[in-house]
Structure 1
Amino acid sequence: MAAVIGVDLGSSSARAIAIDETGRVLASATARYPGAERWPEGRADASAWLHAVAHVVREVGTEHPEAARPRAVSIGGQSPSVVADAVPHAVTVRHPAGATLPPRDQHLAQAEVLAGEGGLACSQGYDWVARQFGARDVQSRWIDDDPIPGFGDLHRTGSVIGTSNGAHGLPTGVLIAAGGQDAFLAFWAGGLTRVGLAMDPGGRTGGLVATAPALQLDADAFRIASPNRDIAIVGGPVNAHGLSIEWLRDLTARPVEWLLGVAEGVPAGAGGVVFAPYLEGERAPRWNRDVRGGLSGLASGTGPAQLTRAVLEGTAYGLRHILDGIRTQGISPEVLICTGSPSRSRLWCSIKASILGLPVLVPDEPDLAALGSAYSAGAAAGWWPRPGETDEPDAWPAREMTRIEPEPLTEYEDGYRRFLELGDFAETQAVVAATTTRT
């Protein structure tokens, strides 16, 4: 059976997934970027991105014979991230340039940084990588994403943007499909094509979105287009949910698996410890890059187990903060789909279920950004519609899901109240710090 390959250009590694026309996963591979530990904050070496992508494409080809010569390949990933074509230096989403601006303008702010360093022509990160395999000089954008001036001709996710040139281990003549932003690809693969769903795309950042009838929303309301043209997606991203557990891993010098294991023995409420996950400022719903994280309720008996539980609960409180805002718009999701690396922890998923008061669904394939890239490749191969071409919610392969029921607990209600207070205090401190700096 024929195969297509999707690639997610993540913040720390590249991930490839090969699927067939039924959506069955045939092979997968992951590779970290060589030398990434030495990159300055918000910077990357795009040649290392290319090296890792080439590696995972070869790996899935080795793992399954049909993936050795796929029908199509698509590359998406972290965004906004911009590459100066001739260098190739990259500025990533973690760079402060344009961080408070809309995505299109953030791309332009990143390009301005690179222009000041001699990078005159720029591309989105995943478009630059796709071009090394033979794609044309284009900008790949989701259905309703605004075009970025100077970034090449606009092509929507799932359209054909070239054929492979035989470089980097991919055979010649393979269709190359326009990719897109990792979160949007995850929404597609996770099935956000009907009303009543919410999703946390996971990863190092995370966030929460929910679906609603497009006609229900005000004309000026912020929205993302669902693959189903009748459905809109609302909500927002956060900055450091997966990153928070990595921070604790480095702080304690204990593996993530060990931390999650000892947190299992800590009751709800984390022994009175509350964590605000604003390690790199915050996006939704505070939208304040200067706000900083915090811990409240530390005691002499607080150890790695309580801190881990507090991190898991604090990130879930952050999702509830977004959900409360969504509900004020009259949107009430019935379930939450959890994806990405955090969804591999049943404890973390069950905490999210209970704090949000929603059943959690965990897909059989948690790396939905790479899977969404594979859906884009499948669209280019003619297997199913591109996003926005149909109002049929079942036009694309559906994932098997494991369901986790919520357990309402008073400890979480108290913890959420304290979480909001801690965040409000952090915002006040950010204002004080900014005022002191100006004076």
Structure 2
Amino acid sequence: MDPGKLGELHESSRATASGFSQLKNAEIFAAIGDGAAGNLGSDADRRGRIAINVGTSAAVRMLEHNRQHLRPVPFGLFRYAVDGERTVVGGAISNAGNLHRWCLRELRLSERESISLQRSLAASDDLAVLPFWVGERAPTWPESLRGAILGLTQSTDAAEILRATTCAAFYRLADILELLEVKNGR
């Protein structure tokens, strides 16, 4: 996009609710995105702190301070402004908790079995999962990627599929974390 078509950035300052007598003493603050709010709420607002948030989707993000000395963001990551001094940089995946729910539903596993699996050994290398049930975002931003489970045999059970699917989603988060570390020279 041509930068000339974008509006000029301005520092948000405290505003007042003029014209609303009920709110005359209220302080109004500019809204921030859920990613930045997630970092602040996860206590990942200091240098070197990274937040990993997992819900339906998942993300790895960190706040950067001093916007004047920012390094370029590698392909696969995003950056957006939090305020005049800070930005948030990271990446998000589309498949996390939604994959877990899909496995529980379609493989007919109970939440109790799921919790038991969380305490078991990691998945073996017998299954390879491309965890793209609903496409994907970072770090590769493919437009029409689809999921797959490879290596199934007659002896593969539901627990193995759940474990391998979960690991595959977390490997994607590890890819984003690695990009952040490379970006920061670690």
Q: Secondary structure at the match of 1:195?
A: coil
**TM-score, length-scaled by structure 2:** 0.72
CA deviation profile, 1:130-179 (whole Å, cap 9, x unmatched): xxxxxxxxxxxxxxxx77xxxxxx99698666899xxxxxxx76957654
1:205, 1:242 within 8 Å by CA — same for their partners in 2? Answer: yes
Show the counterpart of 2:40. Answer: 188
Distance apart, 1:206 and its partner CA? 0.8
Give me the whole-angstrom Cα distance separating, in 1, the residues matched to 2:83 and 2:43: 9
Structure richer in strand, relative to its length: 1
Show the counterpart of 1:68. Answer: none
Matched, 1:244 2:99: yes
2:165 alignment partner AA: V
2:88 alignment partner AA: I
- Relative to structure 1, the CA distance from residue 218 to residue 232 in structure 2 (aligned partners, 3 Å threshold; closer, same or farther) is same
- Relative to structure 1, the CA distance from residue 190 to residue 265 in structure 2 (aligned partners, 3 Å threshold; closer, same or farther) is closer
2:134, 2:146 within 8 Å by CA — same for their partners in 1? Answer: yes
Give me the whole-angstrom Cα distance separating, in 1, the residues matched to 2:151 and 2:52: 27
Structure richer in helix, relative to its length: 1
Gaps of 5+ in 1: 1-100, 102-145, 148-153, 165-171, 333-439
Q: Secondary structure at the match of 2:146?
A: coil
Gaps of 5+ in 2: none
- Relative to structure 1, the CA distance from residue 295 to residue 268 in structure 2 (aligned partners, 3 Å threshold; closer, same or farther) is same
**TM-score, length-scaled by structure 1:** 0.34
Q: Write out aligned runs for 1:40-439 (5 A).
A: 179-213=31-65, 214=67, 215-218=69-72, 222-226=78-82, 229=85, 231-255=86-110, 257-264=111-118, 266-270=120-124, 272-332=126-186
Distance apart, 1:292 and its partner CA? 0.8
1:183 alignment partner AA: G
2:103 alignment partner AA: L
1:263, 1:306 within 8 Å by CA — same for their partners in 2? Answer: no
Distance apart, 1:283 and its partner CA? 0.6
Give me the whole-angstrom Cα distance separating, in 2, the residues matched to 1:260 and 1:235: 29
- Relative to structure 1, the CA distance from residue 298 to residue 232 in structure 2 (aligned partners, 3 Å threshold; closer, same or farther) is same
Give me the whole-angstrom Cα distance separating, in 2, the residues matched to 1:312 and 1:212: 29
Q: Secondary structure at the match of 2:50?
A: strand
Distance apart, 1:234 and its partner CA? 1.8
- Relative to structure 1, the CA distance from residue 203 to residue 296 in structure 2 (aligned partners, 3 Å threshold; closer, same or farther) is same
Q: Secondary structure at the match of 2:172?
A: helix
Give me the whole-angstrom Cα distance separating, in 2, the residues matched to 1:251 and 1:156: 48
Give me the whole-angstrom Cα distance separating, in 2, the residues matched to 1:279 and 1:158: 43
- Relative to structure 1, the CA distance from residue 220 to residue 264 in structure 2 (aligned partners, 3 Å threshold; closer, same or farther) is closer
2:131, 2:168 within 8 Å by CA — same for their partners in 1? Answer: yes
2:91, 2:139 within 8 Å by CA — same for their partners in 1? Answer: yes
